[in-house]
Amino acid sequence: MFTDFPHSFYYCCLFLAAWFGIMYFRIVSRPFLFLILLVWLVLISELFAKYVSYVWHQSNNFVYHIFTPFEFFIYGFIYSQLLGDKKLKIVISILVLFIFVFEVINTFFLQSIHQSNTNTIIVENIFLVTLSLMLFIRIKEVPTYQNLLTEPVFWFNSIILIYYAFNIMIWGFHNLKVYNLANPPNLMYDINLVFSGMLYLIFSIVLYLEKIKPQSNLIHHG
């Protein structure tokens, strides 16, 4: 099941992040408490998807149709906490609502529950890259961090920017070139798995940095 390197790496990193979540959930600040919730949501949905696929021998794409809007809902909550701006909170709420509506439309009219919901994933990724850039601007506006490289929020936002910008390209390419192929190239999915593993590895580091740093983050608390 997880014998190849990309899968092994991805699940190891995901379990590590989930484990750190259990270890540190009492001490992390509110935005990263929701990050732990997200990691556990990913772990549960991934395990359920594998169960559907290997035990029921059915397509597990429907799991991602449900998972994607809830994933963005949690990211939206994290970013509204980190950005700490009332107007942006309203904008983020609208984006979250939009993703839910878009996913319903996508499922009914564009990509059925038996197909991968790449359209919703691309829109979600565009929103996340935008939010990440906005947070970078906000961090620079109020330079309160003494050493940026030891700040969990910096690592969290950096990996969101890199991973989801790369994801836009992956799923964009997927939509244009390989969506309807009978035998899509595995290399693309393997690269995606390795990058997903790196995302959860960085999340683990973020949680660890949250544990070791004193809680005096101005942006976290708005």
Q: What is the contact surface with another protein in residues (CB under 8 A)?
A: 136, 139-140, 143, 145-146, 148-149, 158, 161-162, 165-166, 169-170, 173, 177-178, 181-185, 187-188, 191
CB-based contacts of 66, cutoff 8 Å, min separation 6: 45
Query: Please, what is the minimum distance in Å from the beta carbon of residue 129 to another protein?
Result: 9
Query: Please, what is the minimum distance in Å from the beta carbon of residue 23 to another protein?
Result: 28
Round to whole Å and give the CA distance between 153 and 140: 12
Q: Using the minimum distance from each CB to another protein, give the nearer residue, 87 or 147.
A: 147
Helices and strands: H and E segment counts in the chain: 7, 0
Q: Using the minimum distance from each CB to another protein, give the nearer residue, 183 or 216.
A: 183
Q: Using the minimum distance from each CB to another protein, give the nearer residue, 33 or 128.
A: 128
Query: Please, what is the minimum distance in Å from the beta carbon of residue 180 to another protein?
Result: 11
Query: Please, what is the minimum distance in Å from the beta carbon of residue 64 to another protein?
Result: 21
Round to whole Å and give the CA distance between 200 and 10: 8
Round to whole Å and give the CA distance between 188 and 112: 22
Query: Please, what is the minimum distance in Å from the beta carbon of residue 204 to another protein?
Result: 19
Round to whole Å and give the CA distance between 75 and 196: 16
Beta carbons within 10 angstroms of residue 6's beta carbon: 19
Round to whole Å and give the CA distance between 79 and 206: 15
Q: Using the minimum distance from each CB to another protein, give the nearer residue, 104 or 191.
A: 191
- Both tokens of 32, joined, read 């990263």
Q: Using the minimum distance from each CB to another protein, give the nearer residue, 70 or 145.
A: 145
